[in-house]
Amino acid sequence: MKTIQPSIWRIALVREIAAILLIKLALLFAIKAIWFDAPTVPEDGLNRVAHHLLSNAGSPSPSTEETPR
């Protein structure tokens, strides 16, 4: 004899967890669509990067480390 297993969706906890996960997934997609719709490219970014990488390191930037006492 075969025993018929009850559907997993009859368990209230499973339904609640599935609903919460669907809501969270929808919120994540909404946040992505609103705030991260297109990459932002800085103005004249390629030239600035090239200048920074290919220029001479004449004056190093001041150190932000504190001297030990």
Please report which confidence band the pLDDT of residue 56 belongs to, taking 50, 70 and 90 as the band edges: confident
Per-residue confidence band for 49, with pLDDT thresholds at 50, 70 and 90: confident
**Which residues make Cβ contacts (< 8 Å) with residue 14, sequence separation at least 6?**
8
- Could you tell me the two tokens for 57? 């390191």
Average pLDDT, the chain: 84
d(CA 20, CA 26): 10
Give the model's pLDDT for residue 60: 60
Taking only the tens place, the pLDDT of each residue in 2-19 is: 788 889 889 999 999 999
Please name the residues in contact with 9: beta carbons below 8 A apart, sequence gap of 6 or more: 15
In whole angstroms, give the CA distance from residue 69 to residue 66. 9
Q: How far apart are CA 18 and CA 9, in angstroms?
A: 9
Question: At 58, is the pLDDT very low, low, confident or very high (cuts 50, 70, 90)?
Answer: low
